[in-house]
C-alpha cells in the first residue's frame, strides 16, 4: 500500500515520534510506502507532498513540532475541498491516510471515511480532552513545562511578596491547569469546567499572604468568572469556529491587585507549553500509537482511531473518538481544592 500521513491542528510534542513509529513499522515490517502531506488537510487538498521514508524519520524522535507542518484547514469549509482530496489521492496513487490530530482533525477524518476515503486516526492534543482515550501524548510534556515554570515562579513571587497568576492552555478542559497546579503546589486552580468566584480567589490569596508565602494562581485560558464571559485575546476565529483565547490571567491579576492592594502579575505560558522536546512518557505513548496505527492501516480497519485504555492500545471507531470531550470531573477538582488558600 501507499499511505499518506498528515498532522493537523495545534502542534504537540510527540507528533514526530508517531510519524517515526508509523514509517519504521510500515516500511520495515509490512513493506508499505509513504507520502507526507504538508500542513494538515491543506496538504491533500493542494497535493502538497513531501517524501516520507526511513531516511526522513531518522533522528526525529526527540524533536518537538512536526516535520510535516500543520494547519487548521477544514476541507469541508473549502470549496471543492473533499473532491480535491479524492482526486489528489488517486493521482498520487495514495490508498489511504493516517491523520494525526485532535477533535477537529479527527472529526474531518470521520466524515471523510463516511465519504469513502479510507482514514485511520491518531489522537493528539496537549489538552488531553479527547473522550475515547485515557491520555493523549503532548499532555505530559505540557504539564511538565508548566510545573517547572510554577516552581520558578514560587521563588520570585516570595522574594517580592507578589501574587503571580499563571495562565495555561486549555480551551474547554482544565486538565493542564489541574495537573500542573497540583504538581506545582498552586494556591488556587481555575478551570473552564467551573466558573470561578473572584471573591473566593481573593480570600485564598489573602490567606496565603497571611502565612508569609506568596500565592500562585493557575488559570486555564478558557476559565470564566461567575456571571462573566470568556476573555478573548482577539476576535479571530479559526476554520473550525474556535475563537482565539487568552487574557484571563491578566484580567484576574488586575482584579486581585485592586481588591487586595498587593502587587499581582500575570504570566502567560502560551505556546511554550507546546514547543520543544517531548517527555519520555509522551515519546513512548506516541511511538506506540504510531505502531498500532500502521497495524490498523495494514489490516484495512478504516474509520478507527488508536486509543490508550489503561496500559493497552486499542482501536475505537472515529465516531466515538469525537463524540464527547473529556472534561475535568468535579471529584478530581475537589481533590485539588484541599490545597487551596
Q: Could you tell me the smallest distance in angstroms from the CB atom of residue 303 to ligand F6P? A: 23
Residue from 26, 64, 65, 102 that binds ligand F6P (CB under 6 A)?
A: 102
- Conformation bin of residue 210: beta by default, left when phi > 0, alpha when psi is -120 to 50: alpha
Q: How far is the CB of 128 from ligand F6P (least distance, A)?
A: 10
145 binds ligand F6P (CB under 6 A): no
The answer to whether 126 contacts ligand F6P (rule: CB under 6 A) is yes
10 near ligand F6P, rule: CB under 6 A:
yes
For ligand F6P, the binding residue among 170, 181, 184, 303 (CB under 6 A) is 170
140, 135, 151: which is closest to 309 by C-alpha? 135
- Map the footprint of ligand F6P across residues 56-85, applying CB under 6 A: none
Question: How far apart are CB 10 and ligand F6P at their closest, in Å?
Answer: 4
CB of 221 to ligand F6P, least distance (A): 6
Contact residues for 191 (Cβ-Cβ < 8 A; gap 6+): 170, 173, 174, 177, 178, 220, 223, 328, 333
Pairing of strands 188-190, 304-309: unpaired
Q: What are the φ/ψ torsions at residue 14 (nearest 5 degrees)?
A: 115, -10
Residue 115, classified by CB atoms within 10 Å of its CB into exposed (0-12), middle (13-18) or buried (19+), is middle
| 112-120, 121-129, 185-193, 295-303 -> range binding ligand F6P (CB under 6 A) | 121-129
Q: How far apart are CA 87 and CA 236, in angstroms?
A: 32
CA atoms within 13 A on the CB side of 214: 20
Active site (annotated) includes residue 127? yes
**DSSP letters spanning 8-27:** -SS--TTHHHHHHHHHHHHH
Question: Would you say the C-alpha torsion 285, 288, 294, 295 has a positive or negative sign?
Answer: negative
Q: Where are the beta strands (DSSP E) in the chain?
A: 2-7, 33-37, 49-51, 96-101, 119-123, 163-168, 188-190, 216-220, 232-237, 243-245, 264-268, 304-309, 312-317
Toward ligand F6P, which CB reaches closer, 98 or 245?
245
CB atoms within 10 A of CB 148: 13
Supply the minimum distance, in Å, between the C-beta of residue 248 and ligand F6P: 12
Chosen residue from 117, 191, 223, 245 binding ligand F6P by CB under 6 A: 245
- Would you give the binding string for ligand F6P spanning residues 201-240, x where CB under 6 A is met? --------------------x-------------------
Catalytic residue among 127, 129, 282, 295, which? 127
Contact segment (CB under 6 A) with ligand F6P among 38-46, 75-83, 119-127, 331-339 equals 119-127
Stretch that binds ligand F6P, among 37-45, 159-167, 168-176, 283-291 (CB under 6 A): 168-176
* Interface with ligand F6P (CB under 6 A), residue from 71, 88, 105, 125: 125
Of 26-34, 79-87, 165-173, 251-259, the segment contacting ligand F6P by CB under 6 A is 165-173
Q: How far is CA 49 from the centre of its chain?
A: 25
β-strands 96-101, 119-123: how paired? parallel
Strand 304-309, strand 119-123: pairing: parallel
How crowded is residue 138: how many other Cβ atoms within 10 Å of its Cβ?
29
Binding residues with ligand F6P: total (CB under 6 A) = 10
Residue 278, interface with ligand F6P (CB under 6 A)? no
The stretch among 61-69, 110-118, 169-177, 308-316 that binds ligand F6P (CB under 6 A) is: 169-177
Please report, as ranges, the residues that interact with ligand F6P according to CB under 6 A: 10, 102, 125-127, 169-171, 221, 245
Q: Catalytic amino acids?
A: 127
Amino acid at each position: 500500500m501507499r499511505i499518506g500521513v498528515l498532522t493537523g491542528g495545534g502542534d504537540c510534542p510527540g507528533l514526530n515520534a508517531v510519524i517515526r513509529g508509523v514509517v519504521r513499522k510500515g516500511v520495515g515490517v509490512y513493506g508499505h510506502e509513504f507520502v507526507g502531506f504538508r500542513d494538515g488537510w491543506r496538504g491533500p487538498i493542494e497535493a502538497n507532498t513531501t517524501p516520507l521514508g526511513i531516511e526522513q524519520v531518522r533522528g526525529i524522535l526527540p524533536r518537538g513540532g512536526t516535520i510535516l507542518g500543520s494547519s487548521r484547514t477544514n476541507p469541508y469549509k473549502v470549496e471543492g475541498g473533499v473532491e480535491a482530496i479524492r482526486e489528489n489521492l488517486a493521482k498520487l496513487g495514495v490508498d489511504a491516510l493516517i491523520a494525526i490530530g485532535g477533535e477537529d482533525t479527527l472529526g474531518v477524518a470521520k466524515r471523510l471515511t463516511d465519504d469513502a476515503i479510507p482514514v485511520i486516526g491518531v489522537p493528539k492534543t496537549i489538552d488531553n480532552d479527547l473522550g475515547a482515550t485515557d491520555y493523549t501524548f503532548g499532555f505530559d510534556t505540557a504539564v511538565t513545562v508548566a510545573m517547572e515554570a510554577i516552581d520558578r515562579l514560587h521563588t520570585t513571587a516570595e522574594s517580592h511578596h507578589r501574587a503571580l497568576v499563571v495562565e495555561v492552555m486549555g480551551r474547554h478542559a482544565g486538565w493542564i491547569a489541574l495537573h500542573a497546579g497540583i504538581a506545582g503546589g498552586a494556591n488556587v486552580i481555575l478551570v473552564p469546567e467551573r466558573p470561578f468566584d473572584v471573591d473566593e480567589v481573593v480570600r485564598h490569596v489573602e490567606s496565603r499572604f497571611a502565612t508569609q508565602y506568596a500565592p500562585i494562581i493557575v488559570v486555564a485560558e478558557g476559565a470564566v468568572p461567575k456571571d462573566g464571559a470568556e476573555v478573548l485575546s482577539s476576535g479571530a476565529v479559526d476554520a473550525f469556529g474556535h475563537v482565539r483565547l487568552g487574557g484571563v490571567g491578566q484580567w484576574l491579576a488586575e482584579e486581585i491587585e485592586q481588591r487586595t492592594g498587593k502587587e499581582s502579575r500575570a504570566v502567560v505560558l502560551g505556546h511554550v507549553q507546546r514547543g520543544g522536546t517531548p517527555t519520555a512518557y509522551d515519546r513512548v505513548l506516541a511511538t506506540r500509537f504510531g505502531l498500532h496505527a500502521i497495524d490498523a492501516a495494514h489490516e484495512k480497519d478504516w474509520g478507527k482511531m488508536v486509543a490508550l485504555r489503561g496500559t493497552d492500545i486499542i482501536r475505537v471507531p472515529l465516531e466515538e473518538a469525537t463524540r464527547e470531550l473529556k472534561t475535568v470531573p468535579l471529584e478530581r477538582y475537589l481533590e485539588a481544592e484541599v490545597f487551596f488558600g
